[in-house]
Structure 1
Amino acid sequence: MPLTVSLGHASLTGPRARNEDFVGAVTPEGAELDNKGLLGVVADGVGGHANGREAAEFTVRSLLSDYYATPDTWAVPQALDKVIGAANRWLVSQSARRSETAGMATTLSAVVLRGRRWITAHVGDSRIYLLREGQLRRLTQDHVWEHPELKTVLSRAVGLDKHLSIDFGEGELNEGDCFILLSDGVWGTLRDARIQSLIESHPDAQEAAFALADGAVDSGAQDNCTALVIRVSELPRDTLRDSLARLRELPLPPRLKPGQSLDGLEVLDVLHDSRITLLYRVRMPAGGIAVLKTLHASADLEDAAALAHEEWIARRVTDAAFPQVISRPSRSHLYYLMSWHEGESLKQRLTRGHRFNATEVAETGERLLKGLATLHRLAIVHRDIKPDNLHLGADGRLRILDLGVAAADGQHEGERFGEINNPGTPSYMAPELFQQGAERPRANESSDLYAVGVTLYELATRKYPYGEIEPFQHPRFGDPVPPTRYRPDLPEWLESVLLKAVAREPERRFETAEEFLLALQRGAHRPLAVPRQRPLLERDPHALLKLVCALSLIANLLLLLLILSK
């Protein structure tokens, strides 16, 4: 059953000449409700300034539309922060552009109900309340400074400052919960006890919203009065969080041999056996072939959470460049199923002696980058691109395998799961990922593109641009070896592309998969201009000092010999 709510809203001008409040909500259905949830927002344009109403309406409309355009893999707070931050920057730019729009700002209070969780985002002095089992609780804090001549002065608002700090809150949903979003015209006039009384005496959400706004006006409110009421009737049976918890509680299957079965899945052979994970090729009850991924019996709860995380990410990647997850609602043990494809990995092709020519390298790169671009648009970083994880099917399609160490921005609503394997293979990891200390950067889209460059370099040369790097090694990176040293037949344009892709400094590489792809597609028609070797002073900033010291030492020795010879 889906999340079911009733919703009501009211916005009255009151004694003001103009209503500067704005209220809105989106109640999606189906997958969008599951992935993004319901969103309700109240905003109050800053009074006494031009375009306060415009600021409130623009911010609410932007949030209601743009939030649902963010990747499903983003956590709700991250998505809200991105969208509200963009609205804030636009309002600040408008304030700086013309004197008549100076001070164009608004408060903002938003609530997202997704699955069995609620998340709030708040800036300013509008408020969010939660009424649960007869107890009214305020979920937000007012961002105001006390002023001797004015009632309050906002310390934070959307559009007030280019550096916007948003308060986020989060909690579990209960059936019967009632969320109340109010502008200060309502809560500043009605006390908490009256707010609760009006909500409890009006079970219908729309009637409750009108009662709050009318009650504030009748009680002498001196501001616009806006109320949004959301009553939770039914909760869904399962959410991602619940699904992960359920999967982690399943027992691990025993070690299986060909011919044995699990939940009607007949094991044909073992495809992969690592320290923690196991992959089997299995026959489905209906006769199809699939891949079953599970863990060794020695795996712990963190490993189980990581496997559930991997399945969650894989379900969201529906592009043909990736194996697809096969739904298996009823499972007696911890595992998940993926589509099976005949063929071999690119590493296997290299091992059996296949020599990739320049055309094959470029075409492989194009197909790989198209798939990786899809992944990056979902805000997912693969973190382990290499020939072992690239599969060329019998159907001629290149597929990207193994999302076991993939990272999606902010997934799992704040939970941080461990990883089944170490993230990345040393020889394909970008130089900056070897930095030591707290400032070591995290793997990102740039490091994925670097791994693509190393992979194509290896396909062309069977070598690595900086040599093979062993685990736990702390390498020093100079200039990459030009691939034509190993393959003189490679065209110059392809060498330029590869050297740019594996440059030591991130700023010298391709910024996006699309830029990398364009360079391969243009090929010799519009070749890149890439310096083959950096100047000595750039490679070693202390080289000049070393040279001066060496010359000085030689000069002193010659002078000493001259003195001693006399």
Structure 2
Amino acid sequence: PPPLKPGQDFEGWRVQEVISRSQQSLLYRVLDGQGQAWLLKTLPAQLADDAQAGQALLAEEWFLKRVAGRHFPEVHSAGQRQHLYYVMREYSGTTLAQLFAQSGPLPLAQWQDLAERLLRAVGLLHRRQILHRDIKPENLHLGDDGELRLLDFGLAYCPGLSQDAPSTLPGTPSYIAPEAFQSAVPSAQQDLYAVGVTLYFLLTGHFPYGEIEAFQRPRFGVPVSAGRYRPDLPEWLAQCLEHGVAADPLQRYETAEEWLLILEQGERRSLSVRPRPLLEREPLKVWRTLALLALLGNLVLLFLLFHG
């Protein structure tokens, strides 16, 4: 479309304002005939002749229609369009990034509820053979209607349908799985890693391997336990998160459903991860106990020596 101005009528929509503008997309708030607010997404002028960008926008609309449901924005079933764009419903509420900025780390009960809903959404995506590739708090919207929605399918990928994944890394570096830095093919495990980092951040305000800057070549060792930042975090939940953000994709959950089941069953289920050694979890108690045993042993030896 040509640049749209507030108050302009465009193919049955009344333009209100520009919501966002970037190198890849242009987003307008528009009203339908009943005064309901929607978001119209199209390409900026510099991409008008870019066939690949146009195809990506059409694919984004197709992905959202394919996963239609409570966890995703509703796409308007537009009639004949003369221009390249699509329209999705606008929801009142806040992103989880905004919620964190306002209130800080989430209370455990709220965090677990949102974690379960996020995993249901990601599980549905993966069953439809769609990889989101940009899961982070900024793309998670908690509506005033109480629903958690996964937004922004601009980087979504469907094996066999999408064009080859770009050589540049998608998304925000701190949420990108270690294997993606080695040019690995997009996978469900990479999405689940992003889920893990997102949940870890919303719980602690930190990243499991530290914040990763653009163009940085990160090293991934052992993630810092979330329990270090949240003393109120049960050990089983700390282990659950460590499993989710494991550097080795083979050590992560195989599916969102597997992770969801662990959260739902909670402490009633023993986690399928190796518990950390007691020395690592409670070093002070271990060394104190060993010192006490050594002292007792020496006292026994002294007793036997003088009374033998």
The structure richer in strand per residue is 1
Q: Which stretches in structure 1 are left out of the alignment for 5+ residues? A: 1-252, 536-566
**How far apart, CA to CA, are the structure 1 residues paired with 2:164 and 2:14?**
31
Q: Which runs of 4+ in 1 moved over 3 A?
A: 529-533
Q: 1:306 to 1:444 in 2, by over 3 A?
A: same
Deviation string 1:59-114 (CA, Å, 9 cap, x unpaired) is xxxxxxxxxxxxxxxxxxxxxxxxxxxxxxxxxxxxxxxxxxxxxxxxxxxxxxxx
Paired position in structure 1 for 2:135: 385
Q: CA deviation at 1:259?
A: 2.6
The CA deviation string for residues 473-492 of structure 1, in whole angstroms up to 9 with x for no partner, is 21011111111222222221
- Structure 2: unaligned runs, 5 residues or longer: 280-308
Match of 1:431 among 178, 186, 211: 178
**Per-residue displacement from partner, 1:427-456 (whole Å, max 9, x unpaired)?**
111111111xxxx32121111111110000
1:261 aligns with 9
Counterpart in the other structure of 1:292: 40
Q: Which residue of 2 aligns with 1:514?
A: 257
TM superposition score normalised by structure 1: 0.46
TM-score, normalised to structure 2, is 0.83
Distance (whole Å) between structure 2 residues aligned to residue 258 and residue 530 of structure 1: 58
RMSD (CA atoms) = 2.0
1:327-338 matches, within 5 Å, as 327-338=77-88
Alignment of 1:348 with 2:91, yes or no, is: no
Q: Residue 246 of structure 2: which of 498, 503, 509 is its match?
A: 503
- Give the drift of 1:527: 4.4
> 2:226 & 2:103 partners in 1: Cα distance?
18
**Contact 1:379–1:409 (CA under 8 A) maintained in structure 2:** yes
Q: Select which of 195, 198, 222 maps to 1:479.
A: 222
Question: 2:115 aligned with 1:365, yes or no?
Answer: yes
The 3 A distance-change label for structure 1 pair 367 and 280 is same
> Which residue of structure 2 aligns with residue 404 of structure 1?
154
Task: Tell whether the 8 Å contact from 1:499 to 1:530 is kept in structure 2 after alignment.
Answer: no
State how far apart, in whole Å, the 2-side matches of 1:411 and 1:504 are. 28
Change in 2 beyond 3 A, CA 1:530/1:345: farther
Shift of 1:358: 1.4
2:284 aligned partner: none
What is the number of residues matched between the two proteins?
274
Question: Partners in 2 of 1:260 and 1:434 — Cα distance?
Answer: 45
Which whole-Å deviations, capped at 9, do the CAs of 1:497-553 have from their partners, x for residues lacking one? 1111001111111111110101111212224254448x9xxxxxxxxxxxxxxxxxx
- Offset from partner CA, 1:179-222 (integer Å, 9 cap, x none): xxxxxxxxxxxxxxxxxxxxxxxxxxxxxxxxxxxxxxxxxxxx
Task: State whether residues 291 and 340 of structure 1, in contact with CA within 8 Å, keep that contact through their aligned partners in structure 2.
Answer: yes
Q: For the Cα contact (< 8 Å) 1:306–1:417, is it kept in 2?
A: no
- Partners of 2:256 and 2:104 lie apart in 1 by 26
- The 5 A counterparts of 1:146-185 are none
Larger Rg: 1
Whole-angstrom distance in 1 between the partners of 2:140 and 2:77: 23
State percent identity of aligned pairs.
50
Q: Hey, what does 2:55 align to over in structure 1?
A: 305
AA in 2 matched with 1:311: E
Counterpart mapping for 1:86-485 below 5 A? 253-299=1-47, 300-411=50-161, 416=163, 423-435=170-182, 440-485=183-228
1:271 and 1:480 map into 2 onto residues whose CA distance is: 37
